[in-house]
Chain A
Amino acid sequence: QVQLVESGGGVVQPGRSLRLSCAASGFTFNSYGMHWVRQAPGKGLEWVAAIWYDGSNKYYADSVKGRFTISRDNSKNTLFLQMNSLRAEDTAVYYCATEGIVAASALDYWGQGTLVTVSS
Chain B
Amino acid sequence: DIVMTQSPDSLAVSLGERAAINCKSSQSVLYSSNNKNYLAWYQQKPGQPPKLLIYWASTRESGVPDRFTGSGSGTDFTLTISSLQAEDVAVYYCQQYYNTPRTFGQGTKVEIK
Q: How far is the CA of A61 from the CA of B1 in the complex (A)?
A: 10
| Interface of chain B residues 40 through 88 with chain A (CB within 8 A) | 40, 42, 44, 49-52, 55-56, 59, 61-62
Other-chain residue from A107, A112, A113 in contact with B52 (beta carbon distance below 8 A): A107
Give the size of the chain B interface in residues (CB under 8 angstroms): 27
Other-chain residue from A35, A44, A103, A113 in contact with B61 (beta carbon distance below 8 A): A103
Does any Cβ of A come within 8 Å of B7's Cβ?
Answer: no
CB distance from B87 to the nearest CB of A (A): 18
The answer to whether A110 and B51 have CB atoms under 8 Å apart is yes
CB distance from B58 to the nearest CB of A (A): 12
The answer to whether B55 and A45 have CB atoms under 8 Å apart is no
The answer to whether A47 and B102 have CB atoms under 8 Å apart is yes
- In the complex where A45-B93, A107-B40 touch, is A62 in contact with B52 (Cβ < 8 A)? no
The answer to whether A44 and B50 have CB atoms under 8 Å apart is no
Give chain A's interface secondary structure class: strand
B100 to chain A: which residues have CB within 8 Å? 47, 50, 59
The answer to whether B104 and A44 have CB atoms under 8 Å apart is yes
Q: Which of chain A's residues has its CB closest to B61's CB?
A: A103
A113 to chain B: which residues have CB within 8 Å? 49
Q: How far is the CA of A46 from the CA of B103 in the complex (A)?
A: 7
| Interface of chain B residues 11 through 62 with chain A (CB within 8 A) | 36, 38, 40, 42, 44, 49-52, 55-56, 59, 61-62
Residues of A in contact with B (beta carbons under 8 Å apart) = 35, 37, 44-47, 50, 59-62, 95, 102-113
Beyond A62-B101, A106-B97, 4 extra complex contacts between A and B, CB < 8 Å: A45-B95, A50-B100, A104-B36, A110-B51
